[in-house]
Structure 1
Amino acid sequence: MNTPAPKCFMSYSWTTKQHATRVLELSTDLVENGVDVVLDKWDLREGHDANHFMETMVSDEAIRKVILVCDHEYVRKANERTGGVGTETQIISPEVYRKSRQDKFVAVVFEKNPEGKPFLPAYYSSRIYIDLSTPTSHAENFEQLMRWIFDKPLYKKPQLGKMPEYLKEDAIALGTTSKARRATESVRGALANWRGHVAEYFSAVSENLERFRLDADDCNRLEQSANTDRTSKNVETFLPYRNEAIGLISTMAMHLEDGQSSELLHRFFEDLLPFLDSSQTVASHLDTDFDNYRFIVHELFLYTIAILLGRQRFTDVCTLLQTQYYVPNLRVDSWNGMVSFEYMYQPIGFVAKAVENHLASSLHPHSDLLEKRSHESAVEFPKLMQADFVLYLRGELDRLPENRHWPRWYPVTLDGSSTTAGNMVFEVFARSQSTRYFNQILKILGIQSKEELDALMHRYAERSFRFRNWHSPAQMMGYEFIATRD
């Protein structure tokens, strides 16, 4: 069944022939876009009472919308209550004054005074209007008028959600906010002791992260669904501290020279790695006991690389990717005390259950959760995807000569249902059309020449390899154009 067209009455003044023509053109545009416009030129016939016609149109319940076309003459007649406009004003103004929320009447401004202020009747002066006073504003705001008529606002209030876990009384407190503020201010102000303040903050995070540890006995005792919910809430509680950390890292990337952050950032993540797995100091051996830490550290590292790449802090990135990390007391076979950056990605079991109720069609729930949380940061999700792809390539190239298989960085953000490639080429590779720029990216990838990258691309081509919802790695890099100009 078709919805009846909204009926709209046009109230205006016969100021000039040109003005009347503009009103007619606007009315015609509205009719052609599905609005049943009542206009005196169309609906007032010889022998009709003009005043009665106007009174009826304004008060008629079938008229859902009334447009007040405002120019200097309309405002004069409305304020002085003269002519047909004055008659309409006597009917309209009590309605407007009586209702604080008015959705039947709107002023459409056709003219402004020499100071650029709109001509508006006194009774309407404090209300929102639609500006059609110039050809430019008409083109921009006609859609606004259509949305008002059809009650289809551009912005809709989202469904009310639940209070974040980190605001609840029993939320875990990291106790690092004052240190983060001090470190950020010292970096931004280029203070002599900025390095000490940053190191103090990073140490506080790594030391106090123990407060987020899930009780191993509870993990073993709880049913899977309850344990998943508990882990999810734990990760959500960490969100403000994630934002706190990436806020400082963003400030460092913006205000420090490339390479100045390398040692501090490397040591920070090295101090976080013992939380990712069982050690001699933690008796539990169940992977689920460490799911929260694995998500937190992976997310922090992904944001850090994304921020550094965005600011072209390539020396800092190289340090984080090529320098191994010492993990004391790690219980793994053939362990020599050192691990690569890839150790910061480990499979995380809880995310599949944590989001399945909301994202049942997701291809990779880890990606969907990262994307959802990115909305509460200043780092856009495509930047995380770029960082994820660079980390994946670096891991692939590191293992290419020896064909080793562990550890391995898996780019989860490229495997989510809500992310599609389109024709996207990631920025660092689009810029790598410049040979000079590409030579810097080679260092990040840990290789010496494009020929080494050719070998990996050839392997992908042989296997017709691609990520779900994405093109092949070569297409994502715009590989045929890399290093093609100075």
Structure 2
Amino acid sequence: MSEEKTASPKIFISYSWKPEENKEWVLDLADRLHREGVHVIIDEWDLAKGHDKYSFMEKMVNDPEICKVLLICNDDYVIKANNRKGGVGEESLIVSKEIYSSADQTKFIPVIRSSKDGSPNLPTFIHSRIGVDMRDPDKFEERYEELMRDINNKPKRSRPPLGQLPSYITDDSVIVYSTAHKFRPLKEAIVSSKPNTNALMKDYFRELGETLLSFSLSNEEKEKPDFDDIVVDRFNQLGPLRDEVVEVFSLYINYNKDVDSDLLISILEHLLNIEVKLNNIIYSSAPYYNEHISLFLNEMFLYLSALLLKYERYSVLKDIVTTSYWRESEYSADINYISCAKAFNKYLQSLNEYRTKRLDLRHYFLSSFILRSRNANTYLKFDEIIEIDSILYYLGLIYGFDWSPRLSCYSRIRFLYPFFQKMKSKRFFNKAKTLFDVESKTELIEKAKNIKTENHYSSYYYNIDNINNILNDNNIAIVN
């Protein structure tokens, strides 16, 4: 089917014949514009002998079919326009009258060809008009495109469609977190690779910590027998904040060639100590009244780990799972450093015991069911969260921390997750081996064989296979 032909825009060019090179430059410009679909009216082509030149000029300036009038402003044009001399002077009188009486302020486009004291040299009657600066021959093509876009009303950046007001304006029930004003400049800094990105990251997560503190239960709420209802409700209220944090991590990991492990570890350590401050205990047989924060941090660590896996930042993932996290404590120094599992994979007593018993629920781990109910977001599918939960378990066997893969029961894949399926490729293994801190297939298989820990997660609930059935000679680096 043939496309409908677009009508050519019609323009008039007003210019000075002096000096001769200016006239030649203008005619070259007119020739190119005409060849590229712009109907150019210019005296050299359209004013025949015997025509009244002043009548011609007036008609061109006032003709409604002329969509644009180009005013080619070189030194001679400016002098004649200001002094009202010659054809240019007559045209300037007509143009100035039209400019000041017309509602259409975009019809007349100054094309700047000369300077005065370093600034564009323009006639007085258009000195405040925005024009196309064509003084620099090296930028001619860039400015020519700008001129063509103006003539055809096709700006390089158009106004986007008018959207709807944000929900935090229109919906009084929407919670606006104090991190929002930190999030916007941080997002811009990440995308633009600004040097202050890391500082803004720290600033954002400090604000996040203060926000989490505001979600703590009051002493009065802790005394209620159904305090666990409040815990679940507070966790659900943190859903939009979870999405904001995941977007920060996703942008940071995706846009940074060299992700800073130390920065991520310091952020995680800071948030861990916010949780310690909230609970104000280290060991206790009583329920933790702020375990919605513990579950939020568990979820955040899973998403961060899954994003690092997705974007193949294996060395960074190894760093955050193998580091010992410092936890503030009034007790002896030997418990001040804990593994990622003890920091972000806690057993949540208020949910998995107290609430399950109070409501007579049939969930082995209610906390996992709550995570699943919240589901994933734009950046990750929940299957990817289940996968990283199981991978963290296997990494724990290798590096000596006890990660409980409580989400594995929801897996639709029996044992061999996509990451391990891809390990069959030699190329992929050579990228991923840094995660296991090995140099060869043989070294990794030996590591797996030397693990003597009994697999107490092999029940139907966990859906976890023995590590030697995963990391063996039949599954690693067998295809090119």
Q: CA deviation at 1:169?
A: 6.7
- Partner Cα separation in structure 1 for residue 379 and residue 469 of structure 2: 24
Determine which of 422, 435, 458 is the counterpart of 1:431.
422
- Partner Cα separation in structure 2 for residue 374 and residue 235 of structure 1: 13
The residue identity in structure 1 corresponding to 2:197 is W
- Partner Cα separation in structure 1 for residue 293 and residue 457 of structure 2: 35
2:478 aligned counterpart, secondary structure: coil
- Partner Cα separation in structure 1 for residue 266 and residue 211 of structure 2: 16
Aligned to 2:122: none
2:294 aligned counterpart, secondary structure: helix
Q: 1:189 to 1:396 in 2, by over 3 A?
A: same
Q: CA deviation at 1:312?
A: 0.5
- Partner Cα separation in structure 2 for residue 393 and residue 365 of structure 1: 23
- Partner Cα separation in structure 2 for residue 297 and residue 240 of structure 1: 14
Q: 1:350 to 1:312 in 2, by over 3 A?
A: same
1:367 aligns with 2:358: no
The residue identity in structure 2 corresponding to 1:272 is L
Indicate if the aligned counterparts of 1:430 and 1:478 stay in contact, CA closer than 8 A: no
Unaligned ranges ≥5, structure 2: 1-169
- Partner Cα separation in structure 2 for residue 444 and residue 183 of structure 1: 29
1:472 aligns with 2:472: no
2:259 aligned counterpart, secondary structure: coil
Q: CA deviation at 1:179?
A: 0.9
- Partner Cα separation in structure 2 for residue 283 and residue 247 of structure 1: 31
Determine which of 179, 188, 193 is the counterpart of 1:185.
188
1:205 aligned counterpart, secondary structure: helix
1:481 aligned counterpart, secondary structure: coil
Aligned to 1:256: 256
Q: CA deviation at 1:335?
A: 2.7
Q: CA deviation at 1:201?
A: 0.8
The residue identity in structure 2 corresponding to 1:472 is D
Unaligned ranges ≥5, structure 1: 1-166, 400-406
- Partner Cα separation in structure 2 for residue 427 and residue 481 of structure 1: 12
- Partner Cα separation in structure 1 for residue 448 and residue 420 of structure 2: 14
Aligned to 2:445: 451
Q: CA deviation at 1:450?
A: 1.6
Indicate if the aligned counterparts of 2:368 and 2:406 stay in contact, CA closer than 8 A: yes
1:316 aligned counterpart, secondary structure: helix
The residue identity in structure 2 corresponding to 1:470 is N
Q: CA deviation at 1:249?
A: 0.6
TM-score, normalization: structure 2? Answer: 0.56
The residue identity in structure 1 corresponding to 2:403 is W
- Partner Cα separation in structure 2 for residue 341 and residue 464 of structure 1: 19
The residue identity in structure 2 corresponding to 1:413 is L
- Partner Cα separation in structure 2 for residue 464 and residue 324 of structure 1: 24
Q: CA deviation at 1:370?
A: 1.4
Identity of aligned residues (%): 17
The root-mean-square deviation of aligned C-alpha atoms, in Å, is 3.6
Deviations 1:132-160 (A, max 9, x none): xxxxxxxxxxxxxxxxxxxxxxxxxxxxx
Q: How does 1:380-459 map to 2 (within 5 A)?
A: 380-399=381-400, 408-416=402-410, 419-422=411-414, 425-446=416-437, 449-455=443-449
Q: 1:199 to 1:364 in 2, by over 3 A?
A: same
Q: How does 1:46-445 map to 2 (within 5 A)?
A: 174-216=177-219, 218-219=221-222, 221-223=223-225, 226-257=226-257, 259-277=258-276, 285=284, 286-329=286-329, 331=331, 335-343=334-342, 344-352=344-352, 362-399=363-400, 408-416=402-410, 419-422=411-414, 425-445=416-436
- Partner Cα separation in structure 2 for residue 351 and residue 415 of structure 1: 18
Q: CA deviation at 1:200?
A: 1.4
Q: CA deviation at 1:304?
A: 0.4
- Partner Cα separation in structure 1 for residue 249 and residue 306 of structure 2: 11
Q: CA deviation at 1:377?
A: 4.3
TM-score, normalization: structure 1? Answer: 0.55
- Partner Cα separation in structure 1 for residue 360 and residue 382 of structure 2: 17
Q: 1:279 to 1:177 in 2, by over 3 A?
A: closer
- Partner Cα separation in structure 1 for residue 333 and residue 376 of structure 2: 40
